[in-house]
């Protein structure tokens, strides 16, 4: 399967819960899957000595709408490089991020799929508070964290979990810029001792019926990270307490 085929596979997974995403990632050797519903995660430890943690969340804004009697039909259409669901919400936030993790899974870096990000980061919060072994593994044995869960193209956010040195490094590695430091996503919870960044993956108008994905922008971030994460040596960026 090529990159676009994998992306479409993830976008066609049923909205309503995260089961199909977790099912696919549990097929990976060494996958550790813990928890249920919104308080769950899946972790695969990378083999590189200078490994990075790659993060995406399996839940979508549309899961809440699909519970009970609600249902969003899925008819994924692609026209002139724009991917939509003909019937409303697409779920590219963050199924498109999960697809990027799948495409990068053989590079020797660690993978983390969370649930409940759209409900205040419940999965990442449960991981850090109730799974000390994985929480320590993340912060002690990785160089930094990259999350794929950002709208638009060619921007990044470190929120409160980046240093000036790390921000400069991300900008150099990607060519992306940071519009501001507001809001929240899983890395704000996960990064206690190492820096983290959230990268654009090309979706727009998330949480609305006009949600769509610009394929070229998604592909660009994937290609940038393939080059970046294949470097011979990746530095560690410790997170200073005054950056939290």
pLDDT of residue 67: 40
List Cβ neighbours of 223 (8 Å cut-off, separation of 6 or more): none
Q: Which CATH superfamily is domain 3-243 in?
A: Zn peptidases (3.40.630.10)
**Spatial CA neighbour of 189 closest among 236, 141, 98, 119:** 119
pLDDT of residue 16: 87
∠ CA 114-120-123, rounded to 5°:
25
Whole-number Å distance between alpha carbons of 49 and 30: 17
What's the residue count for the chain? 244
Residue 54 and residue 148 in contact, taking contact as beta carbons nearer than 8 Å: yes
**Residue boundaries of the structural domains of the chain:** 3-243
List Cβ neighbours of 235 (8 Å cut-off, separation of 6 or more): 50, 143, 169
CA dist list (Å): 192 to 44, 136, 188 = 19, 9, 8
pLDDT, one tens digit for every residue, the chain (244 residues): 899 999 999 999 999 899 999 999 999 999 999 999 999 999 999 999 999 999 999 999 998 654 444 567 889 999 999 999 999 899 999 999 999 999 999 999 999 999 999 999 999 999 999 999 999 999 999 999 999 999 999 999 999 999 999 999 999 999 999 999 999 999 999 999 999 999 999 999 999 999 999 999 999 999 999 999 999 999 999 997 655 5
């Amino acid at each position: 399967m090529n990159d676009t085929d994998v992306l479409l596979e993830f976008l066609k997974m049923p909205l309503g819960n995260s089961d199909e995403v977790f099912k696919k990632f549990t097929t990976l050797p060494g996958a550790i899957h813990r928890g249920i519903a919104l308080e769950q995660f899946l972790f695969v430890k990378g083999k590189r000595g200078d490994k990075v943690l790659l993060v995406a969340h399996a839940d979508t804004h549309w899961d809440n709408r699909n519970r009970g009697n609600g249902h969003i039909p899925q008819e994924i259409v692609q026209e002139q490089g724009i991917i939509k669901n003909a019937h409303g919400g697409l779920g590219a936030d963050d199924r498109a991020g999960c697809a990027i993790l799948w495409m990068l899974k053989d590079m020797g870096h660690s993978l983390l799929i969370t649930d409940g990000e759209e409900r205040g980061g419940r999965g990442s919060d449960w991981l850090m508070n109730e799974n000390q072994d994985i929480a320590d593994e993340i912060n002690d044995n990785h160089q930094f964290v990259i999350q794929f869960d950002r709208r638009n193209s060619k921007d990044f956010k470190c929120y409160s979990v980046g240093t000036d040195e790390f921000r400069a490094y991300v900008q150099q590695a990607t060519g992306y810029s940071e519009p501001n430091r507001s809001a929240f996503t899983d890395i704000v919870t996960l990064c206690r001792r190492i820096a983290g960044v959230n990268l654009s993956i090309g979706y727009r108008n998330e949480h609305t019926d006009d949600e769509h994905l610009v394929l070229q922008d998604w592909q660009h971030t994937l290609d940038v990270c393939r080059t970046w994460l294949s470097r011979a040596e990746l530095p560690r960026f410790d997170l200073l307490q005054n950056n939290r």
